[in-house]
């Protein structure tokens, strides 16, 4: 469903919800305790799939993903990505960029400039 001017739409499928706002847009989806929320122009997506979450902000962007205790968060233009996969984390900042990765008690951190 596509809804304009901050009008919500909702769908339920096995305890599933989708809500979409276009221009200050939100989508939330629940599929087996799954959620997606999307905001486009100040955008957010959050997805839960077996305790999974993705959140996306585009232009001041964030993505967070949880997949079996997994998280990804992304900020694009002042960007951050954080990923947790079995106690795994990645965080990325693009333009004043940072990446940190944890994989079975492993860490990588990256700082990058334009």
Domain limits, the chain = 1-72
- How far is residue 53 CA from its own chain's centroid? 6
Which pLDDT tens digit goes with each residue over 29-83?
A: 434 434 444 444 444 444 444 434 444 444 444 444 434 433 444 444 444 444 4
Contact (CB, 8 A) for 62 and 71: no
List residues bridging with 112 in a β-sheet.
97
Which pLDDT tens digit goes with each residue over 88-110?
A: 444 444 444 444 444 443 344 44
Contact (CB, 8 A) for 35 and 46: yes
- Give me 22's structure tokens: 């276009």
């Amino acid at each position: 469903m596509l809804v304009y001017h901050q009008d919500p739409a909702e769908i339920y499928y096995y305890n599933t919800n989708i809500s979409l706002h276009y221009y200050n847009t939100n989508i939330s989806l629940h599929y087996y305790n799954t959620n997606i929320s999307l905001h486009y122009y100040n955008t957010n997506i959050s997805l839960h799939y077996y305790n999974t979450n993705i959140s996306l902000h585009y232009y001041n962007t964030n993505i967070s993903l949880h997949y079996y205790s997994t998280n990804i968060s992304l900020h694009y233009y002042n960007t951050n990505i954080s990923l947790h996969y079995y106690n795994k984390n990645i965080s990325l900042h693009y333009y004043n960029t940072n990446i940190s990765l944890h994989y079975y008690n492993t860490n990588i951190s990256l700082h990058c400039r334009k």
